[in-house]
Amino acid sequence: MMVRKGGTRLDKVLRQKYPYWVMVIGFFMGFVSSWALILGLKRGGTSPVYSFSPSSSARVGNFSATGFANAVDKVYVINRDVCTDRWETSKRFAEAIGVELTRFKAYEPTSEELLNPPDGISVRGLKHDFLTTGMLGVYISHRRIWRLVVENNFEKVMVLEDDVFPTNQTWLHLPGLLQHADEAQEFHKKSWHYMFLRRNALGNVKKEKTWSLSPLGHPVTIATPSWGTAAYIISLAGARYLWSASKEGQYPLDVQIADIQKRNEDDFVTLSACWNDQFQPRCPETVFKFEKEDQGDCKRSGTQAGSRITRATLKEKLRELDAKL
């Protein structure tokens, strides 16, 4: 019975931390595909196997350097109108490898909306010390992207904030990474929802269980609660889940997602694609942050920007508004 046998083998992989043959194959594949990348880039995409071509119809990873640009349905970059340099930098990195970006114009709430946010979001239970229009804007923007995923029935999209970009290696291995993560759904008997490409883990990453393997043989783990909204991949199931699970704005979005992870461990399946067998916060191996000079006038976190109201004032104003009704 081949199926049973396959299951047992996968079972073993998922229990053992790094079976030696995975390391061997992983290393070999990494070596081969790194060369494929280098050759592909050098040759400017003339050879079918080595071409670094985004238009290839090959979506899945047989470890050739093709098809990575179609691995997700869209790559959204959340960008505020004032941050033109960040958008130009994102485009420059994307154009160098032929990835198409979709700019998502960041939602910029008015200060009135701090008391009365759109999209059915409630900030009445705010637990963070303060709320800024920047923080609310981040919240609304990501949620609207999730809504777009649901409305368009996208299978998966990548979401990037406009000061980071996946490394070339991440792009190269993206099709295989996603294929393996999808295949593992059958084994785990559930869908994955959210894949961190960058994060600050709050728990012990050494205790994380393996979900699948990256094409390089690194474990893709089931993520402990983590802060990370700068770069991630969300599945249709994930977008559906988060759209309704994130209506209560209590914290900045990254903290809010970590909180949703804590409270819904079994329902909200988050993965980490950081190659965290040598975990480094923020996963510099997966995603890099732009240099200061590439960010122009927008060097600070958008979350801190804009009008600000403290939690106490917010609650007082909401009480006043309620009294008037």
**Locus of tokens 């990195």:** 93
Rounded alpha-carbon distances, angstroms, from residue 256 to 83, 274, 315: 25, 20, 19
Q: Which CB atom, from 64 or from 214, has the smaller least distance to ligand NAG?
A: 64
Q: Does 32 bind ligand NAG (CB under 6 A)?
A: no
If one asks whether residue 133 binds ligand NAG (CB under 6 A), the answer comes out as no
Using the rule CB under 6 A, give the single segment among 57-65, 114-122, 146-154, 276-284 that binds ligand NAG: 57-65
268 DSSP 8-state letter = S
Q: Please, which residues bridge with residue 156 across strands?
A: 235
**39 near ligand NAG, rule: CB under 6 A:** no
Per DSSP, the three-state class of 185 is helix
Cβ nearer to ligand NAG, comparing 62 with 250:
62
- 276 counts as binding ligand NAG under rule CB under 6 A: no
Question: Among positive and negative, which fits the CA dihedral 164, 175, 232, 76?
Answer: positive
Q: Is 84 in the site for ligand NAG (CB under 6 A)?
A: no
3-state class (DSSP) for residue 220: strand
Nearest CA among 122, 178, 119 for reference residue 146:
119
Helices (H) and strands (E) in the chain — how many of each? 8, 14
In the complex, minimum distance from the CB of residue 71 to ligand NAG, in angstroms, rounded to a whole number: 13
Angle between helical axes of 2-15 and 168-188 (0-180°, round to 10): 120
Q: Does 97 bind ligand NAG (CB under 6 A)?
A: yes
Taking the complex as a whole, the smallest distance from the CB of residue 53 to ligand NAG amounts, in Å, to 12
- The nearer residue to ligand NAG, 224 or 286, going by C-beta atoms, is 286
Residues 167-196 that bind ligand NAG (CB under 6 A): 168
Pick the binder of ligand NAG from 33, 64, 170, 210 (CB under 6 A): 64
Pairs from 256-260 (Cβ < 8 Å, separation ≥ 24) = 256/139, 257/194, 257/227, 257/228, 257/229, 258/202, 258/225, 258/226, 258/227, 259/225
Residue 303 sits in the site that holds ligand NAG (CB under 6 A) = no
| Number of chain residues interacting with ligand NAG (CB under 6 A) | 9
Question: Which region, judged by CB under 6 A, interacts with ligand NAG, from 58-66, 105-113, 259-267, 268-276?
Answer: 58-66
Contact in structure between 193 and 166 (CB atoms under 8 Å): no
- Cβ distance to ligand NAG smaller for residue 47 or 264: 47
Pick 29 or 181: Cβ nearer ligand NAG? 29
Name the site residues for ligand NAG (rule: CB under 6 A): 41, 49, 58, 62, 64, 93, 96-97, 168
